[in-house]
Structure 1
Amino acid sequence: MKKFTLAATAAITLLGLGLTGCSSASEDTASAESVTCPGGQIRFGVLPYEDPEALEPAYRLLADALSEKLDCPVEVQITEDYAAEVLAMENDQLEIAQFGPLGFVFANERAGATALASFGDAEGQPTTYTGGIWVPKDSPVKTIEDLKGKTLALGSPGSTSGDALPMSALVDAGIDADVQWDYAGGHPEALLALVNGTVDAAQINSQTLATATEAGTFDPAGYRQVWESEEIPNDPVTVRSNLPQEFQDAVKDALLGLDSADVAKVSKFLGVDPAGPMIEVTNDTYKPLFDLAETMNLTEKDV
């Protein structure tokens, strides 16, 4: 498979060793260590699937509500990338974390992440999203097979819809050795590469499509989708399995008890609008992603 160098179209600087944090409002009156507050705080990891500056207030709202239910300060830590989030949980630097579906596979295997809850719709039903490959409307590319010899912007290594699924589609189409691809650095950056005309095609998942369309940074009328993945279960919020079971149960109950308004801003980033409450998921919910990783021989090194 050919890889070309895609110049960065945007830069994000994160503070610290791959993490940047924002604490919940309850930190001003930090709780003492308790069953629901191990170590006196809960660190909540979030992968940077959108601009961290946009994600931060949405997750702070969720964290504040969670903090109130658990009587414990909740600090949101937006990690530098997918690998940093897995590593942080593996090193006991995160108590809970939201992973992408494929990232969860590696987090489960390496860090013992256990799926607790995901983002439901207004009817309280599970939600999904899809991966896609888009080209300009006037492009000669009509099908995924036509990408042979073309340039393609992917998202980030280890991304479900921004890496593994489009790469799997190229393999299935028999053109994986003939497409020139590179990682743009994330979903928004891949979309921007297409808009700026620096690539022939780009992966754009349904979540980023909705966000960018509403923000006015992408007009779907000027582009065409030439490939779409099967539906993917939305991101799980997980807990580290080496923590006391009583704490794990308390976090699960707290997540499932959050009001829709507490999670609405995060849900919107995930393509869920109008939002509903969080719903229970288990590791088995993500079995298709475990199967995908096995089929493609993916390991945490691919992140």
Structure 2
Amino acid sequence: MNAQAINMNGLERSNIMSNIRKALIPLLCILFIFGTIGCTAQGTQNTGAAKSSQPDKLRIGVIPSEDSENVESKMEPLKNYLSKKLGLEVEIFVANDYTAVVEAMRSKQIDVAHLGPFSYLLATDKANAEAIVSKVTLETGLPTYKSVILARKDSGIKSISDLKGKTFAFIDPASTSGNLVPRNELLKNGIDPDKDFSTSIYAGGGDASALSVQNKKVDAGATSDTEYKTMMEKNLLPDVDIIHESAPIPTSPVAVRKDLDSGLIRKIKQAYLDMDKESPESLKALGLDKYGETKDSAYDNLREIAKILNVDLTKMK
């Protein structure tokens, strides 16, 4: 009887353990499933955090046209306006040159950059930049301007084809409207600017180039249409005419890193577009009229010019 009882007890224990195992298997499966979901959700959350491009402060890169302290002072109204408008702390990074601004954007040390037309091309190539707005002049109402070639009315020069063997004034090697674009215009019209002039000079400024023509120091010269109009209004060029003008040139842009949060990019763009109405003092401090919409494709013509002229973008403004 004792042996039989022992066998019965062992059988019962075996049955009990079997039943427990059967009951635990579904429970363990449920726990595993929920654990996997939890891990997946946590992994997704962590991945999202790693990819987040919403900065805790907005860092804007500029270059000094004068001393750094003066630039920071001029940028102060813009800094305050954007901080209030965007609800973010804003920092201004003043670099030595455009190359330093582009490098800072490439390494994600800045989020927004005020650039020149050709330095913007470098930023798109090296720093994942995208133009959102550019400068607009009230005179034209457009985010573009033109390069013009000038000659005296009594010179007999009526077109680019008349310039072979003449003397010519450019503005500066890095000038868009006063060197790069007119060089391209000359080449397109059969004039090699390095071979076909008897003499060429760099006058140093758009006004200096135009006055060189007016004062008969050179036969013809390049400047911007805005500079020409300003000088004409002051009656400084009574004997000068435009003999050629270029296609529209995009003005200097404000660019953002494309990996910034898309919602933040929209807010930054709108803040610049609203500046003339909401913070005219910011524009006045920068010497600007307003900002207008632009896009990357507006700079395609300059990309072609850079290729044709074999331009070193690291040296462009």
Q: Same fold (TM over 0.5)?
A: yes
1:209 CA displacement: 2.2
Q: Distance in 1 between matches of 2:159 and 2:202?
A: 21
Equivalent residue in structure 1 for 2:183, among 146, 150, 167: 167
Instruction: Quote the residue 1:178 is aligned against.
Output: 196
2:222 matches 1:200: no
1:115 CA displacement: 0.3
Instruction: Quote the residue 1:108 is aligned against.
Output: 124
1:156 CA displacement: 2.7
Q: Distance in 2 between matches of 1:167 and 1:128?
A: 19
Aligned residue identity for 2:248 = E
Instruction: Quote the residue 2:159 is aligned against.
Output: 143
Q: Whose helix proportion is higher, 1 or 2?
A: 2
Identity of aligned residues (%): 29
RMSD: 4.0
Change (3 A) 1:238 1:301: closer
Q: Distance in 1 between matches of 2:187 and 2:89?
A: 47
Q: Deviation string for 1:169-228 (max 9, x for gaps)?
A: 2112222121233333343443354455443322111122234445x4x62322111111
Equivalent residue in structure 1 for 2:301, among 285, 288, 295: 288
2:89 matches 1:72: yes
Change (3 A) 1:42 1:205: same
- TM alignment of 1:113-124, pairs within 5 A: 113-119=129-135
C-alpha contact 1:103 1:159 (8 A) present in aligned 2: no
Equivalent residue in structure 1 for 2:229, among 210, 227, 242: 210
Bigger shift: residues 184-193 or 229-238: 184-193
Equivalent residue in structure 2 for 1:239, among 256, 271, 287: 256
Instruction: Quote the residue 1:17 is aligned against.
Output: none
Equivalent residue in structure 1 for 2:269, among 252, 256, 260: 252
C-alpha contact 1:45 1:76 (8 A) present in aligned 2: yes
Instruction: Quote the residue 2:210 is aligned against.
Output: 191
Q: Distance in 1 between matches of 2:264 and 2:73?
A: 26
Aligned residue identity for 1:285 = A
Q: Distance in 2 between matches of 1:143 and 1:126?
A: 27
1:159 CA displacement: 2.9
Q: Distance in 2 between matches of 1:250 and 1:185?
A: 38
Q: Distance in 1 between matches of 2:284 and 2:225?
A: 16
Instruction: Quote the residue 2:47 is aligned against.
Output: none
Aligned residue identity for 1:228 = E
Change (3 A) 1:302 1:142: farther
C-alpha contact 1:103 1:158 (8 A) present in aligned 2: no
Instruction: Quote the residue 1:229 is aligned against.
Output: 246
Q: Which runs of 5+ in 2 are unaligned?
A: 1-52
1:155 CA displacement: 2.3
Q: Which runs of 5+ in 1 are unaligned?
A: 1-33, 270-274
C-alpha contact 2:231 2:237 (8 A) present in aligned 1: no
Q: With structure 2 as the length reference, what TM-score do the two structures score?
A: 0.63
SS across alignment from 1:259 = helix
Instruction: Quote the residue 1:9 is aligned against.
Output: none
C-alpha contact 2:250 2:299 (8 A) present in aligned 1: yes
C-alpha contact 2:60 2:92 (8 A) present in aligned 1: yes
1:300 CA displacement: 1.6
1:302 CA displacement: 6.2
Change (3 A) 1:279 1:152: same
Instruction: Quote the residue 2:313 is aligned against.
Output: 300
Aligned residue identity for 1:106 = L
- TM alignment of 1:265-280, pairs within 5 A: 265=284, 278-280=291-293
- TM alignment of 1:37-56, pairs within 5 A: 38=57, 42-45=59-62
Aligned residue identity for 2:103 = E
2:169 matches 1:156: no
Count of equivalent residues? 254
